[in-house]
Amino acid sequence: MLIAAAFLFLVIFVRFFYIQVISGAELRYKAIDQWTREIPVVAERGKILDRNGAILAGNITSYTVFARPNAVKDKQHTAHVLSEIFSLDEGELYEDLVSAKVSELTVVRRADAALAEELAAYDLPGVYYARDNTRTYPYGELLCQVLGFTSTDNEGLTGLEKYYDKYLAGMDGEILYDTDLVGVEIEGGNAAYLPATDGLNVALTVDKDIQIIAEEAMADAYLTYSPVSAQCIVLDPSNFEILAMVNYPGYDLNDVPREDTDLLNSLTRNRLISDIYEPGSTFKIVTAAANIEEYLQGNASAFSLSKIFNSSRTRTVDGTTIRCWSNHANGKHSNQTLAEALNNSCNPCFVDIALSLGKQTFYDYLEAFGFGKNTGIDFSGESQGMLIPESAVRDCDLARIGFGQSLAVSALQLACAGAAAVNGGYYYQPRLVESISDGGNIEEGFSPVLMNRTVSEEASRTLASLLEGVVANGSGSKAYIEGYKVGGKTGTAQKYENGAIASGKYVSSFLGFFPADDPKYLALVIVDEPQGAYYGSVVAAPYAKRIFEGIIEVRGIAPYE
């Protein structure tokens, strides 16, 4: 009997220990939940600003209305009032209040202040409201694929709204009121207030004025040439800060097409970062940079600035014939130097460079210029591009890579490579965000991160001068601006479908920068499948000029003397 009694007391002791110690916190929480009513205090989501403080994503105050069915005294009257104020189905709302399947109903979200004031006048028992925030985008479509959007609960779903959600979201608070078992507030009961912690503000590197200029230019390109898309990146070559990023067509961030999944996925995709394409002749910037650097380093295989290329229109490599886009009639591409090869965008000359440098050396430069790997930008979904492994590349592949075929890059990769070729040879990690703050104090700042060197400053200066000649005298002449030193390179690439060249489908592009002797702005314009004209020199270069002219105007940049 003593053993049995001892065992019984032991069981009781273990049970007490389990309830009070192990499950104590959980049971206390349940008790508080049963005897209190919580009114949420919603944190204000942090703003997204451009580099000059313009609000790109903000908030307007709204209200969420709740009802506790057990605390509602006159359900019919309550359902009628709520349905009248908020344009709801009275019968459905009454059924929800009567059935009491849940302890609390969310009646309506994001009601404006006037409706909340109208509700307050009725003083309905069991009905209450709490301040909420509705995300708003003052500029509508501007930067839409980059900014992204939020859910109805203000959680970041795409773009920077998602990538920096942990900073933007903040932490909700609540007000606790004493209630009876069915949720009716007790007169004279206590109230506890847990304040919300608002989200932090995120300041971008993007310049709103430049973004507007670029978006207007791409909208015009889309209207003029009816392409699949018109895209543009503008960045600062001195540190790779993104100044503008356009994917046209876009969508209104205040009216997201959530009901059409396919349309939503198409319009919200930031193709400049996530999609890849064959760059075509804009890639010749990289090939020329590698050649100039090797020549300066004393590599006898490299072409000097005065060396004359073979004037034949074709090159045969591994039994494959590679042709120039030009028929070389009238001796136009005869006896070309490197400068003239760039001006004329002559494919065979860049085949010669790639083959003369050799697989190992050329691939070392491809690695230095960031191809085949992520740039590290602060944005989700970045593509690495496609590059044939060095161990598998053949001479005919290497020859085509020299003028921008047999590899695929993202627009961001190409823009960064172009910047690293003309800025003195410095490859930085590209960035969209400049700082994170609480509205006054900087919580986290981001400085330029140098990833590696590509070429020497001498090689870079030489290349920039040659590319200035392309705009002044060559295929990039439609980007020329009187009184300003603009450099650049055109590109016209055929598209492939199911492993074969797609007839009549091209990607027209232009990569330009200014001032050529000290680059501060670089723009890559891409027009996918333009109708009518398709050469990058005709389709893309004029829009780069338009963007640069817009920057010159809004920034008050004086012409050189």
482, two tokens:
């009187």
d(CA 526, CA 232): 6
Instruction: Return the SS3 of 411.
Output: helix
The confidence score (pLDDT) of residue 208 equals 98
With helix as H, strand as E and coil as C, how does 349-389 read?
HHHHHHHHHCHHHHHHHHHHCCCCCCCCCCCCCCCCCEECC
483, two tokens:
């009184």
The confidence score (pLDDT) of residue 353 equals 96
Instruction: Return the SS3 of 325.
Output: coil
- In one-letter notation, the amino acid at residue 228 is V
Sign of CA dihedral 294, 297, 300, 303: positive
How much is the pTM?
Answer: 0.87
Q: Where are the domains of the chain?
A: 60-68+77-91+102-133, 208-256+268-431+449-555
Cα separation of the two ends of the chain: 110
- In one-letter notation, the amino acid at residue 216 is E
Beta strand extents in 226-301 (DSSP E only): 229-236, 241-248
Sign of CA dihedral 29, 32, 33, 34: positive
In sequence order, what are the residues at sequence separation of 6 or more whose Cβ sits closer than 8 angstroms to the Cβ of residue 18?
A: none
Please say whether the beta carbons of 86 and 65 come within 8 A.
Answer: yes
d(CA 517, CA 441): 37
Which listed residue (62, 229, 281, 383) is catalytic?
Answer: 281
With helix as H, strand as E and coil as C, how does 290-323 read?
HHHHHHHCCCCCCCCCCCCCCCCCEEEECCEEEE
> Mean pLDDT of residues grouped by 10 in the chain (561 residues)?
83 74 60 60 91 96 86 88 91 85 81 88 86 91 96 91 95 70 55 81 98 98 97 98 97 92 91 96 97 96 91 89 82 83 93 96 97 96 95 96 96 98 98 92 91 97 97 95 97 84 91 97 98 95 98 95 70
d(CA 227, CA 221): 8
The confidence score (pLDDT) of residue 25 equals 61
Q: Is 503 a catalytic residue?
A: no
The confidence score (pLDDT) of residue 58 equals 96
d(CA 393, CA 361): 13
The neighbour count for residue 305, using CB atoms within 10 Å, is 13
Token pair 């992520």: residue: 374
How many whole angstroms from its chain centre is CA 233? 11
Task: Give 70's DSSP letter.
Answer: G
**CATH 3.40.710.10 describes domain 208-256+268-431+449-555:** yes
